[in-house]
Structure 1
Amino acid sequence: MDFSTQPVLQVNQATIFQGLNPVLTDVNFSVEQHEFVFLIGRTGSGKSSLLKTLYADLELKSGVVEVAGFDLGTIKQKEIPFLRRKIGIIFQDFQLFNDRTVAENLSFVMKATGWNNKLKIRERMAEVLMLVGLNDALEKMPHQLSGGEQQRVVIARALLNEPSILLADEPTGNLDPDVADGIFKLFQEINKKGTAILMATHNHDLLRKYPYRVLKCENGVLQDSKTHDVSFGTSF
């Protein structure tokens, strides 16, 4: 893992689009390797579109964005899998293959990102499941796991390639509060080991409880708590 002094994520004068419509303009921020950053804003304010742009699911049409050493303005389609080896992506709705075991879900991602040694694949799967507290889940099907356990599998999947940064889109949104708290503590443990985290959330309690930096999407702009007084009352 690269712990250089360069920001792992740098955004300069970017415009973020939803389809043909710009939803955020003149976006400027960076995330350092060790940082934990919240991303907030009402539904439709541009949070998910920003995250999708950062992992190259949406095209960057304007501005300069560098993620884990990749320039998203010039990235080629064939290079996107290499970008996604350097970042971990975590979704609210899990996006697991329900007809495959946990092992098959994880190995699918590993093979898609260049792993081909069966022994090393098995070893790495065991390592990441141990990290998330699911040592005995390899042969289980997703429906045999609780929502919190499925989200732990998703986090394990995101950690397979030792990412520089995790991009998490409402990772606790569908979970009970107690389960969500456990998942959040897992994110904190991952962050303490040096992986940057950018987490979109609607969870007011997390924002009040943990004094991490906040980016807020509102009225077409992105406010940064490093430079603005960002409010997070009940309006997101």
Structure 2
Amino acid sequence: MTFAQDSVVRIKDAAIYQGEHPVLRDVSFTINKGEFVYLIGRTGSGKTSLLKTLYADLPLPLGEAYVAGYQVHKIRQHEVPYLRRKLGIIFQDFQLFFDRTVAENLFFVMRATGWGDKGKMKRRLSEVLMQVGLDSAAGKMPHQLSGGEQQRIVIARSLINEPLILVADEPTGNLDPDVSEGIFQLFQEINNSGTAVLMATHNHKLLNDHPGRVLKCEKGKVLDSVHDVFSFRSEF
């Protein structure tokens, strides 16, 4: 398998496990800088396990994986935080601190990833909040925001370190259709600025309205194609 020089993710002959249970086998694909890729499949098909492998939350016992310049199949524990600084990770649940303001949530991530200059931290805070359209939300508590606004804060948090790729696990799963479309448009804007996006989703409407490249987890395999959305209706 030949990999492009500008790839941000390269997987070759990988086996994805949950504990001792094999979930996916013979996984090989590449995601280049600036690409937008959907990840689909039935519940339990291995989507989340695949994403966790990319950011080294699950070990990779077989095969090779190169993510943002790191050899994930050989990565040592002390290297994992450095890998994750190059990724924007968006989980199924928001994982915000609800007893802290939006600014305090983002400052926590900055300090955890090595930021120390308070002036630079404040400037970056303003930049990412403006990027997600919530520049006036810094002093608010998460519970004062709608679900869509909370998701925008999560996206802002993922952008702090200017990641090479956003890895998003069902980012619109708990949002109504109109809000989901707005969040998706934000992902497209981020992608258009040069950041790659890998988005796991069950949202059939998004794929129908915005067709593109798809990785599909099915029967222990990962299939790769630019899809005709109708051929994937059974996956939702």
Distance (Å, rounded) in 1 between the aligned partners of 2:6 and 2:69: 9
Residues 170-195 of structure 1 show CA distances to partners (whole Å, capped at 9, x for unaligned) of: 00000010000000000000000000
| Aligned partners of 2:208 and 2:229 also within 8 Å | no
State the alpha-carbon separation in 2 of the partners of residues 173 and 97 from structure 1: 20
Find the aligned partners of 1:158 and 1:107 in 2 and give their Cα distance.
Answer: 12
The equivalent of 1:40 in structure 2 is 40
> Amino acid of the residue matched to residue 77 of structure 1?
Q
Aligned to 1:195: 195
1:159 counterpart = 2:131: no
- The offset of 1:227, in angstroms, is 9.8
Asked if the contact 1:204–1:234 (Cα under 8 Å) also holds between the matched residues in 2, the reply is: no
| 2:25 corresponds to | 25
Alpha carbons of structure 1 residues 49 and 230: separation in structure 2 relative to 1, 3 Å:
farther
Tell me, in whole angstroms, the C-alpha distance in 2 between the residues paired with 1:232 and 1:85: 33
TM-score (norm. length: structure 1): 0.95
User: Which residue identity lines up with residue 17 of structure 1 in the other structure?
Assistant: Y
1:138-162 Cα deviation digits (max 9, x unpaired): 1111100000000000000000000
Runs of 4+ in 1 over 6 A off after TM superposition: 227-230
The count of residues paired between Structure 1 and Structure 2 equals: 233
Name the counterpart of 1:121. Answer: 121
Amino acid at match of 1:211: P
Q: Give how far 1:226 is off.
A: 5.0
Cα distance in 1 between the residues matched to 2:226 and 2:151? 30
SS at match of 2:215: strand
**1:119-170 CA distances to partner (integer Å, 9 max, x unpaired)?**
1111101100000000111111110000000000000000000000000000
Q: 1:197 to 1:16 in 2, by over 3 A?
A: same
Q: Distance in 1 between matches of 2:106 and 2:11?
A: 31
CA deviation vs aligned residue, 1:76-110 (integer Å, no higher than 9, x gap): 11111100110100122111011111111101111
CA–CA distance in structure 2, aligned partners of residues 235 and 212 of structure 1? 16
RMSD: 1.6
Report the CA distance shift for 1:94/1:163 in structure 2 as closer, same or farther (over 3 A): same
1:60 shift after superposition? 1.1
Report deviation, 1:73: 1.3
State whether residues 87 and 166 of structure 1, in contact with CA within 8 Å, keep that contact through their aligned partners in structure 2.
yes
Using the TM superposition, give the Cα deviation of residue 231 of structure 1 relative to its aligned residue in structure 2, in angstroms. Answer: 2.8
Residue 38 of structure 1: SS of its match in structure 2? strand
- Tell me the TM-score normalized by structure 2: 0.95
Q: Partner amino acid for 2:192? A: K
Structure 1 partner of 2:79:
79
Query: What are the equivalent positions in structure 2 for 1:130-145 lying under 5 Å apart?
Result: 130-145=130-145
2: CA distance, partners of 1:189 / 1:235: 27
What is the CA–CA distance in structure 1 between the aligned matches of 2:104 and 2:19, rounded to whole Å? 33
